[in-house]
Structure 1
Amino acid sequence: MVFHTGRWYVVGHDHLRDSLRTFRIDRITSVTSRADNFTAPDGFDPVAHLTSTLAQGPYRWQVEVTIHGPLDEIARRLPRSAVTLTAQPASVLMQARAERLDGMAHLLASLEWPFTIHQPDELRQALKNLADQLAQAAERAPGAILQ
């Protein structure tokens, strides 16, 4: 069992599908006890498995961005449940899934390192929209009335 972002999950072998699965405990409606056993593979890390599984969730957008910075520092800034990071020679490849691109634009804008968007192209527009909002906020005089 793993506790993550306010929920309990169980990671185990699904005998019906004969594969490793992750289940949210609050969604389990019944349990059938079986005599079969399952031994976790050597070196299995249930927390790493869960966060990797959640990062590949059923979201609308597949995001791929190269972040030009050090892997260890980038990993500390990004939620493991939302992204997969792969070290490159002088950068880090970030892969993620997102339901909304404006949230991904905010996440990327919060980073201190330059980045290059590979996909989706629509993320570029979301980033431009955020930049426009920030530029307007920077120009807004104190006491200005928003419409």
Structure 2
Amino acid sequence: MPRWKSPGVVFHTGRWYVVGHDHLRDGLRTFRIGRIASVTARSRHFTAPDGFDPVAHLTSTLARGSYRWQVEVTIHGPLDEIARRLPRSAFTLTARPSGVLMHARAERLDGMAHLLASLEWPFAVHHPDEPRQALKNLADQLTAAAERGPEQLPQ
């Protein structure tokens, strides 16, 4: 069981994480709290080192993580506003004459489709082609919802 010093509990993109020093592996570790099966309380106390930032550590760890999809999209909107809408751990943004080039990592394309659809600016998917189908599927779901009357909802 890992024992921790300098712990940090961080909420990020819908999940809770704990970040701290693992004495068994002698290094910083990050765990999703929902995956921790058991915890043993210890009587030892630890002091966080100066400058330790669990949020910065978590976001840099997640940014280096492996994802199934590498997606490239141009968004036609202001860079600073787009940056405020996207989690920095999974996106890089670069201002270009044609718009803001977004490189994104995603595990699921349906989630990427929802995120892109939530933006208020036009966008174009460069690659891969698979996000286009996820966007079409979402458009079909939204069209069906827009055409469905309350009497057509399941009881």
Fold match, TM over 0.5? yes
Deviation digits for residues 47-74 of structure 1, max 9, x if unmatched? 5564244134211111111111111100
Q: Determine if contact 2:74/2:125 at 8 Å carries over to the other structure.
A: yes
Q: Which runs of 5+ in 1 are unaligned?
A: 28-39
Deviation digits for residues 82-134 of structure 1, max 9, x if unmatched? 21212223521111111110000000000000011011101000000100110
* Whole-Å separation in 1 of the counterparts to 2:80 and 2:28: 27
Q: How does 1:1-147 map to 2 (within 5 A)?
A: 3-5=9-11, 6-10=16-20, 23-24=29-30, 50-146=58-154
Aligned residues: 123
* Whole-Å separation in 2 of the counterparts to 1:84 and 1:46: 21
* Whole-Å separation in 1 of the counterparts to 2:97 and 2:54: 29
* Whole-Å separation in 2 of the counterparts to 1:59 and 1:85: 18
- Identity, % of aligned pairs? 69
Deviation digits for residues 26-81 of structure 1, max 9, x if unmatched? 78xxxxxxxxxxxx9xxxx8855642441342111111111111111001111112
Secondary structure of 2:97's match? Answer: coil
Q: Which runs of 5+ in 2 are unaligned?
A: 1-5, 37-50
In the TM superposition, what is the alpha-carbon distance from 1:10 to its structure 2 partner?
A: 5.0
Secondary structure of 2:92's match? Answer: strand
| Runs of 4+ deviating beyond 6 Å | none
Q: Determine if contact 1:67/1:114 at 8 Å carries over to the other structure.
A: yes
Cα RMSD, aligned residues only: 2.9
Counterpart of 1:33 in structure 2 is none
* Whole-Å separation in 2 of the counterparts to 1:60 and 1:92: 23
Secondary structure of 1:143's match? Answer: helix
Query: If the length of structure 2 is used for normalisation, what is the TM-score?
Result: 0.66
Query: If the length of structure 1 is used for normalisation, what is the TM-score?
Result: 0.69
Q: Cα–Cα, structure 1 residues 124 and 62, in superposed 2: closer, same or farther, change >3 Å?
A: same
* Whole-Å separation in 2 of the counterparts to 1:73 and 1:100: 24
